[in-house]
Structure 1
Amino acid sequence: MRVSHIAIQSTDAYIGMRANRSHPQIKQHTADLQIRQTHTGMIEINTKSAELSIDQTQAFAEANLKTPFRLADEFYQRAQQKAAEHLTKRRQQGDQMMKIENGFGVLGRLAKVNSEKPQGQLQTVNMPRSVSSTKIHFEPAQVSFRVPNHQTDIKVNRREPDMHIPKWQTETYVKQKNSISFQAVGAAIDSSL
């Protein structure tokens, strides 16, 4: 036996979405920058040169390298000393000859002393004879700086960026409508009723 029944067929509704997302636009303007620097009175540098003085007068004198004036002065002093020594020796010898009462051998002794030459002596010396013979004086160089202090004038005018950010929009729409349908299956329907 066939039982009649109702077949129901339905479809769901679907909603669609359309999104419009445009990109933001940002424009940054360059800053207005003004720098002012005065350059008057540049750096001043003063230098005092180093001084080196070397006095080798004594070292040269010890090596017998002397000026004519110094040679003449030393010769004069030696001559005075030798003359004084010679006069002293002659006076002493004259005193000895006056005293004849001491005997007659005085003349022979004096002749022997006067005829003998002094014996030379060999000496080894360094030239110059001492380290202090050369005098060295050194004054180092001096450098002084003068730098004027000038301030730099800097002005910055800020410029805000231009920003354009459009709104994001989303649209919704019905992509598929819902529907329902009924159908009688397996029976004869009296539609006259």
Structure 2
Amino acid sequence: MNIPQLLIQTTSGILGLQIDKPIQEIEQPKATIHQEQPAAILEMSTTRSQLSLDSTEVRADIDLKGPLRRGDENAQYGMQQLMQGIARRAQEGQQLMEIENGGNPIIEISKQNAYPPPKSLGIRFVAERTKIQMSFQPGSLNINATPQKPVLNVQINKPIHTYTQGKVTGMMEQYPSVQIDWRI
């Protein structure tokens, strides 16, 4: 025996949407600014500093002496040489007076005068910077500045705004259906 069969076939519906997006444009113009800064009032006063250098001793070291100083030094040198000569002659006289003690003082005095002690090389460093006498009186500087306030003018510009509204449209892409059939 055959039992009848009922066949049902369905197709679902498909809904489609067409979307037009909204468009929004915003533009912000920059603010208009006018600013001015007046110059500050500046007052200055100074007193000069004073530097005093005395290089007399340094100049004397390199033999650049004035006539008065050179005359004084020559007089001192002459007096010193005179005193040394007197002392030498007194010593030689003392040696001659003591001739009875033995020895030959005339030969010894002759040897002393014939062969003087060797001279030194005479190398020396001249013009030492430490001999420069220096004095300094500092100056002064007075500054008086009076600031001026800035002048600001600002104008704010409104934004430019445009808006196009979006749109959604619905449509059927596939309609639903139902088919019923039967079989024996």
Amino acid at match of 1:174: M
Distance 2:183 2:22 in 1: 55
TM-score, normalized by length of structure 1? 0.50
Deviation at residue 27 of structure 1 after TM alignment: 0.7
**Equivalent in the alignment of 1:149:** 147
Computing the radius of gyration over CA atoms, which structure comes out larger, 1 or 2?
1
Aligned residue among 144, 160, 163 for 2:161: 163
Question: What is the CA deviation profile of residues 23-42 of structure 1, one whole-angstrom value per residue up to 9, with x for unaligned ones?
Answer: 4311110111010222374x
Q: Aligned ranges for residues 37-76 of structure 1 at < 5 Å? A: 37-39=37-39, 41=41, 43-54=42-53, 65-66=67-68
Deviation at residue 136 of structure 1 after TM alignment: 3.8
Distance 1:39 1:170 in 2: 63
Deviation at residue 167 of structure 1 after TM alignment: 3.5
Larger strand share, 1 or 2? 2
User: RMSD between aligned alpha carbons?
Assistant: 3.7
Structure 1 portions without partners, runs of 5+? 72-118, 123-130, 187-193
SS of 1:120's equivalent in the other structure is: helix
2:40–2:147 CA contact under 8 A, matched in 1: no
Deviation at residue 174 of structure 1 after TM alignment: 2.0
**Equivalent in the alignment of 1:17:** 17
Deviation at residue 177 of structure 1 after TM alignment: 1.3
Amino acid at match of 2:52: S
Distance 2:58 2:173 in 1: 121
Structure 2 portions without partners, runs of 5+? 60-64, 72-81, 86-129
Q: Aligned ranges for residues 86-97 of structure 1 at < 5 Å? A: none
Q: Aligned ranges for residues 59-138 of structure 1 at < 5 Å? A: 65-66=67-68, 119-120=82-83, 136-138=134-136
Distance 1:66 1:56 in 2: 17
2:10–2:178 CA contact under 8 A, matched in 1: yes
Deviation at residue 57 of structure 1 after TM alignment: 7.8
Deviation at residue 56 of structure 1 after TM alignment: 6.8
**Equivalent in the alignment of 1:139:** 137
2:23–2:166 CA contact under 8 A, matched in 1: no
Distance 1:64 1:6 in 2: 148
SS of 2:149's equivalent in the other structure is: coil
Distance 1:4 1:135 in 2: 139
**Equivalent in the alignment of 1:27:** 27
**Equivalent in the alignment of 2:90:** none
Deviation at residue 154 of structure 1 after TM alignment: 1.5
Amino acid at match of 2:6: I
Aligned residues: 128
